[in-house]
Amino acid sequence: MINDKLNIKQLSEDFAQNKSVQIFNFLKEDNANELYNWFNFDIPEDWWFTSVHNPLAKDYEGALNIQRKPESLNLIDEKISEANEAFLNGNFSYVFDRSLPHAATCTCFECQFLKFLESEFMLFFVNSITGMRLDRTNEVFASRFTSNQFLSPHHDENKGKIGFVYTLTKNWRPEWGGNLHFMKEDYRTITKTVVPVFNRLTLFDIPSKNGIPHYVSHVLPTVKSNRISITGWFDSDVAEKC
């Protein structure tokens, strides 16, 4: 599944220098296109859930996940407006579509890919680049950002040691929004911006259990394309390097 032409040595050097690395053309072309087609054309719409922050809860606690069915669309529109109002008032907020765990017997392309991410082969690949002893994934899911959706600055406390984003978005333009921004601890200074690029895996070090501040900027109201990615964390209980 992984592109066998990747330069592991160079990727490892890039990660060592920058504490993050962007792996372009991560999967073989056929595998990447299968996932792209699944999330953009084949997945049933009611397999998506619009995730909205509960303003009375801290960070992700108490998230409201609304299944995307025709009878739920008016409620979803209301929650999108509420989330944006909270954002403009300076409060932590978010709204985006995401997947929730499927049945254990599900063999869809998403479930196949999630199983691959936690495989020994994938863990060996990530450890070879990061120099860590990662042995599992944490909370992996697909996300879809559409018009007026966003994710406020946050830190992913206690999520894992390496965060990752695998992007399944074609022909995205940075001026449309939906870009991943990393920040300093002041939550104001942007240190890096990652624009969605098809079939690219981004790995980034999480230097402490407190996480690293980052956010996804608003997708403009008139954008018709979907910003789709699979995101999660690699982790282990081992602290030392290989």
pLDDT digits (tens, 9 = 90+) for 174-220: 999 999 999 999 999 999 999 999 999 999 999 877 778 999 999 99
pLDDT at 193: 94
Whether residue 129 is predicted with pLDDT greater than 80 in this model: the reply is yes
CATH of 8-235, one of 2.60.120.620, 1.10.357.10, 2.30.30.60, 3.40.250.10: 2.60.120.620
Q: Quick check: 188 and 6 in contact, CB under 8 A? A: no
pLDDT at 35: 97
pLDDT at 184: 92
Domains of the chain by residue range: 8-235
pLDDT digits (tens, 9 = 90+) for 54-101: 766 665 566 899 999 999 999 999 999 999 999 999 889 999 999 999
pLDDT at 55: 67
pLDDT band at 241 (very low <50, low <70, confident <90, very high): very low
Distance of CA 101 to the CA centre of its chain: 15
Whether residue 29 is predicted with pLDDT greater than 70 in this model: the reply is yes
SS3 labels along the chain: CECCCCCHHHHHHHHHHHCEEEEECCECHHHHHHHHHHHHHHCCHHHCEEEECCCCCCCCCCCEEEECCHHHHHHHHHHHHHHHHHHHCCCCCEEEEECCCCCCCCCCHHHHHHHHHCCHHHHHHHHHHHCCCCCEEEEEEEEEECCCCEEEEECCCCCCCEEEEEECCCCCCHHHCCCEEEECCCCCCEEEEECCCCCEEEEEECCCCCCCCEEECCCCCCCCCCEEEEEEEEECCCCCCC
Whether residue 236 is predicted with pLDDT greater than 50 in this model: the reply is yes
Rounded Cα gap, residues 182 and 151, in angstroms: 12
pLDDT at 239: 60
pLDDT digits (tens, 9 = 90+) for 133-173: 999 999 999 999 999 999 999 887 788 999 999 999 999 99
